[in-house]
Structure 1
Amino acid sequence: MSSRRITPVIALGAVALLALAGCSGGNSANNGDNSSGSDSLVIDTAFSIETTDPGHTYDPTGNMIAKALYETLVDFEGSDVSTPVPGLASWEQNDEATEFTFTLEGDRVFSDGTPIEAKDVVFSLQRIQGMEDAKPNFLLGGLTITEVDDKTIRFTSETPLLQLPAILANPALGIVNSDVVLENGGATDGTDSAQKFLDGASAGSGPFVLDTLDLSSQVVLTKNDEYNGDEASDYKRVVVRNVSESATQLANLKGGDSMVAMDLNGDQVAGLGDGITVDSVPSGQTIFLLLNQSEAVAGDLANVKIAEAIRYALDYDALLELAGAGSVQATGVIPPGFEGALDSGVEQDLDKSAAALEEAGYTGQTLKLQFPNDYPVGGVEFTPLAERIQAQLKDAGITVDLAPAPFATELDAYVNGAEGFGLWFWGPDYADSANFLPFGPGLKVGLRAGWAAEANPEIAGIAAGAAAATDADQRTAAFTEFAEAMQAEGPFVPMIVPGRNISSADSVKGAVYNSVWEMDIAEIAPAG
């Protein structure tokens, strides 16, 4: 193997992983767990969590909790997800980016004091591979994971996989104590039944251990006394509460009943006074329009030139007014901050829009804009956004009727490619631009827009080249070329990257957004 020590090669940026605030459960602000006492930290968020088993979690709140309980082979520093760094292990790769060798560093231990070994890594990840119904299962597709010795693990990929280190930083791939989990129903052959155990106890090496879990009200963590890493917390106890209403989160924060509120909207953040700090950044999700290119779905409106006309008809600054703090214009299908993202987005040009309409042969047919009307993304409500889009397109000579529907109803039509004209969103699964290649022709999102590979072989080839790249510089160039081509010819109209706002009392510091795990609880400390 021709190998080299990795100083991470993928330039990304501050991005988001599924940065949706959950809305399940009821408010639990008055449960007796307040922020009094310097040994306790209280965090309010709208829960999106189903379990504290890292092998099954893949939700924003679940990822945040998993990050506190379990460590991963790879990490990111603070809120910066541009460069993967060693977590439990350092790594080398071959020149083809198909073989990665990870070496456990230091004498790290689990919460029961036993040492972390290669067997624990292999078991943890093979357990997920064996559970086909596990949400993070797809992250490890096509990988063979083997133990070389007590400190060394080898990953072999069927195809070049430069994004593997970024993938392995996902908290869902946290390393568990194999002996403990095996004793409590763990298995790698698909018969695993350890989730119930891991919902009542933790078996990781993170700075915290699980005290109690109530999926409807709160998760309580306590300090891991055996922790010997570099993220030891200043708090002995952390209470993460399910407070589904942002107005209640705001009241709790201002009243001193909590120290961190994770889901305030742009208007609420803009009205905060002294004594509260806000970390407000773009989330990395993209809100976009799609115009279906299948004649069976869109009829004579299945014309990529109509998508081009829409792209130049919109006033993006006016649309952005609806998005609030932290939001920015989408510069393409790859959001700002990701490898290959364009420096600037499309600007309104009504002459270009009119020319594209004429080339398309558009004669005033009505486009029906379908969208979910009960699922705000990053605080952006889709109904007022759709109304503003409708008005702007009317001014450009394009007739649009609005067809809102509940998320659960509209999702099937979108996923199955049955929408002629749709308003939707897309967020990355891990911190790498490979997440956006599915917008290409013949790929997952492209097919949802009825865009087959043969419709644009050139862009399909660019996407394939980016996916197969083994050289970092060539990879960046390929992603940039993909973004440019998609902005010029694709059936998609990227519009807004919503903001993400985390607000904290001035009694604490370090409460910042991270696109992979929402927020690193262990990094929050008393101010001063």
Structure 2
Amino acid sequence: MRTSPRYTGIAIGAVAALLLAGCSGGNSAQNTDDASGGSVVIDAAFSIETADPGNTYDPTGNMVAKALYETLVDFKGSDVTTPIPGLADWTQNDAATEFTFTLDDGRVFSDGSPITADDVVFSLQRIQGMADAKPAFLLAGVTIEKVDEKTIKFTTETPLLQLPAILANPALGIVNSKVVEKNGGATDGTDTAQAFLDGESAGSGPFVLDSLDLTSQVVLTRNAEYNGDEEASYDRVVIRNVTESATQKINLEGGDTMVAMDLNGDQVSNLADNLTVASVPSAQTIFLLVNQNATVGGVTANPKFAEAVRYALDYDALLELAGTGASEATGVIPPSFAGALADGVKQDLAASTAALTASGYTGETVRLQYPNDYPVGGVEFTPLAERVQAQLKDAGINVELAPAPFTTEIDPYVNGTEAFSMWFWGPDYADTANFLPFAPGLKVGLRAGWTAEANPEIADLAMQAAAATDPDTREAIFTDFATAMQKDGPFVPLIVPGSNIATAKTVTGAVYNAVWTMDIAELSPTS
């Protein structure tokens, strides 16, 4: 196998939150078996909109999709620097524009039917055909064609060193084409299979879907037909929506859950001795978005306003809210990725005042929108937003906080209709190209109303980075991109949270992953 010459990433992930706080009881971990074949209960702050892999693009959604569906490429444990074969092995040409994948022999779906090249082509072309599917951009510019029953060829319009890593994203899980087509699946944009896949899975992963309730819990059961190398140790997995990290801690210490996904650094520092904690740096970045579309943002659309916000903040004081393991975000590229800046912006109130005057701001109240049930790596958005509000007030910027549930905020954020908001971004695969969407004219840039025409220089740097094939040259371009973004971009990176996962002593194998948060199939009884 010839893989890409270099992937740069970190072996962790983080969890975001969604919807209402869960409660203890119901599926008490105290009533589960410790032996293999029993059940495991996981508390997580939900960020999930569907169990359909082709439409999922959220941390909890990715974790569930990873358990239900297999991908062509995989990573081992927490190591996301080196792609390894999943359902297939592969070769690629020197220009990184042609990739040939060969499926493993004998692999089957949960109904026992064989996995074929037709299933792969259908699964990925289905996503390409759904223009509104969140993961569709992962396959932009990629042509996928069947060579024979076991072989699939991928051709890219430009060099795409990171394609194998991209194909490890759980959103690109392979579905049983016959089952999904029978239930509304299509590759021409008319797909209606999501409703079916929210009630019944059609994959080859270690688990199958038992039930899905986006507001309370997801239940998985063992896939009896699974014949891969990640066989489940538990017959049943219950993932509960518990949005408050304090409640997760209480549940874990009280024996009502076995895995807590969202504890912050302060909470894990004083857990009981009989609990295990894995703390690692996060690949997530919490940032402020300052919309550049005058129709949406009004005064925020002046680039000088974003500059004023950037220099008004005391980043060390903001970092105090994040706890152990967190660090200041030095730019849109997290510190552990190639091209990241060594140092972040420092507070400069004089520079902020000058930029604010130049922006034409005259004291208008600006609404700061954010999801209020959305802890990232244990960082609660409300206290962070309150501290941002106070610091901006001291700098002469009036801010009104406008919190709302994730389900209310996600659509206006994605559609670019928020003037001033707080969100987060995490990697989709283990490569710095993950952060190019912040560029003008690209996915996140457009959410900020930032077109390519607004800053052609940064748009060009993003294009150069995407096309580079020499690792050293590519890293230097990424550094130039990050530098330019910190100077002129409409984003104000705040914090890279730490990531903590805590487990009962009866459970082992809970490891963070930058792409799918945690591989549920790796959980097993300690005994």
Regarding TM over 0.5, the answer is yes
1:73 & 1:250 partners in 2: Cα distance? 36
Answer yes or no: is the 8 Å Cα contact 2:264–2:322 preserved in 1: no
* 1:269 maps to amino acid: V
1:323 & 1:519 partners in 2: Cα distance? 21
* 1:406 maps to amino acid: A
* 2:8 maps to amino acid: A
Residue 496 of structure 1 pairs with residue 492 of structure 2: no
Structure 1 residue 117 displacement after superposition: 2.4
2:482 & 2:109 partners in 1: Cα distance? 43
The DSSP-based 3-state class of the residue aligned with 2:250 is helix
1:249 to 1:157, Cα distance in 2 relative to 1, 3 A: same
For 1:400, the equivalent position in structure 2 comes to 398
Please identify, of 300-309 and 203-212, the stretch whose mean Cα deviation from structure 2 is larger: 300-309
For 2:372, the equivalent position in structure 1 comes to 374
For 1:319, the equivalent position in structure 2 comes to 318
For 2:32, the equivalent position in structure 1 comes to 35
The DSSP-based 3-state class of the residue aligned with 2:124 is helix
Structure 1 residue 225 displacement after superposition: 4.0
1:107 to 1:505, Cα distance in 2 relative to 1, 3 A: same
1:371 & 1:95 partners in 2: Cα distance? 46
For 2:16, which of 4, 11, 20 is the aligned residue? 20
Please identify, of 127-136 and 483-492, the stretch whose mean Cα deviation from structure 2 is larger: 127-136
The DSSP-based 3-state class of the residue aligned with 1:484 is helix
For 1:188, the equivalent position in structure 2 comes to 187
1:420 & 1:219 partners in 2: Cα distance? 34
Structure 1 residue 526 displacement after superposition: 2.2
2:244 & 2:152 partners in 1: Cα distance? 44
Structure 1 residue 50 displacement after superposition: 4.3
Structure 1 residue 462 displacement after superposition: 0.8
Q: Deviations over 1:200-232 (max 9, x none)?
A: 544332223344445555444333344332222
Q: Deviations over 1:233-254 (max 9, x none)?
A: 3333333334444444333322
For 2:250, the equivalent position in structure 1 comes to 251
In the superposition, the TM-score normalised over structure 2's length comes to 0.85
| Structure 1 residues not aligned, in runs of 5+ | none
Structure 1 residue 317 displacement after superposition: 1.4
| Structure 2 residues not aligned, in runs of 5+ | none
Structure 1 residue 168 displacement after superposition: 1.1
RMSD: 3.5
1:277 to 1:131, Cα distance in 2 relative to 1, 3 A: same
Answer yes or no: is the 8 Å Cα contact 2:146–2:153 preserved in 1: yes
For 2:203, the equivalent position in structure 1 comes to 204
1:419 to 1:268, Cα distance in 2 relative to 1, 3 A: same
Q: Deviations over 1:425-468 (max 9, x none)?
A: 33444443333223223444445545454443322211121122
The DSSP-based 3-state class of the residue aligned with 2:53 is coil
Please identify, of 36-45 and 313-322, the stretch whose mean Cα deviation from structure 2 is larger: 36-45
Q: Deviations over 1:317-376 (max 9, x none)?
A: 111111234322101011222332223322335566567678x48897566352326343
1:25 & 1:409 partners in 2: Cα distance? 16
Answer yes or no: is the 8 Å Cα contact 2:313–2:347 preserved in 1: yes
Structure 1 residue 159 displacement after superposition: 3.3
For 1:435, the equivalent position in structure 2 comes to 434
2:139 & 2:503 partners in 1: Cα distance? 36
Q: Deviations over 1:410-435 (max 9, x none)?
A: 66776666666544433444443333
Structure 1 residue 525 displacement after superposition: 2.0
Answer yes or no: is the 8 Å Cα contact 1:276–1:503 preserved in 2: yes
For 2:6, which of 4, 9, 33 is the aligned residue? 9
1:409 & 1:202 partners in 2: Cα distance? 27
Answer yes or no: is the 8 Å Cα contact 2:24–2:256 preserved in 1: no
For 2:159, the equivalent position in structure 1 comes to 160
* 1:22 maps to amino acid: L
Q: Deviations over 1:45-80 (max 9, x none)?
A: 244444433333333333222212221001112123
2:191 & 2:457 partners in 1: Cα distance? 45
Please identify, of 464-473 and 295-304, the stretch whose mean Cα deviation from structure 2 is larger: 295-304
1:120 to 1:413, Cα distance in 2 relative to 1, 3 A: closer
2:201 & 2:255 partners in 1: Cα distance? 30
Structure 1 residue 483 displacement after superposition: 0.7
The DSSP-based 3-state class of the residue aligned with 1:145 is strand
Answer yes or no: is the 8 Å Cα contact 1:27–1:217 preserved in 2: no
Q: Deviations over 1:368-405 (max 9, x none)?
A: 3523263434143444334433444455x544333435
* 2:205 maps to amino acid: G
For 1:64, the equivalent position in structure 2 comes to 63
For 1:339, the equivalent position in structure 2 comes to 338
Structure 1 residue 150 displacement after superposition: 2.1
Answer yes or no: is the 8 Å Cα contact 1:14–1:337 preserved in 2: no
1:422 & 1:210 partners in 2: Cα distance? 35
The DSSP-based 3-state class of the residue aligned with 1:288 is strand
1:225 to 1:153, Cα distance in 2 relative to 1, 3 A: same
Please identify, of 136-145 and 401-410, the stretch whose mean Cα deviation from structure 2 is larger: 401-410
For 1:98, the equivalent position in structure 2 comes to 97
Within a 5 Å distance, the mapping from 1:364-513 to structure 2 comes to: 365=363, 368=366, 370-372=368-370, 374-378=372-376, 379-393=378-392, 397-406=395-404, 421-449=420-448, 451-513=450-512
The DSSP-based 3-state class of the residue aligned with 1:338 is coil
1:107 to 1:471, Cα distance in 2 relative to 1, 3 A: farther
Q: Deviations over 1:445-498 (max 9, x none)?
A: 445545454443322211121122233333222212211222233343211123
User: In terms of Rg, which structure is larger?
Assistant: 1
2:4 & 2:417 partners in 1: Cα distance? 44
1:297 & 1:51 partners in 2: Cα distance? 29
1:137 & 1:149 partners in 2: Cα distance? 25
1:183 & 1:412 partners in 2: Cα distance? 30
Answer yes or no: is the 8 Å Cα contact 1:98–1:158 preserved in 2: yes
Between the two proteins, the alignment pairs up a number of residues equal to 522
* 1:233 maps to amino acid: A
Please identify, of 196-205 and 228-237, the stretch whose mean Cα deviation from structure 2 is larger: 196-205
1:398 to 1:211, Cα distance in 2 relative to 1, 3 A: closer
Structure 1 residue 134 displacement after superposition: 4.1
For 1:234, the equivalent position in structure 2 comes to 233
1:389 to 1:203, Cα distance in 2 relative to 1, 3 A: closer
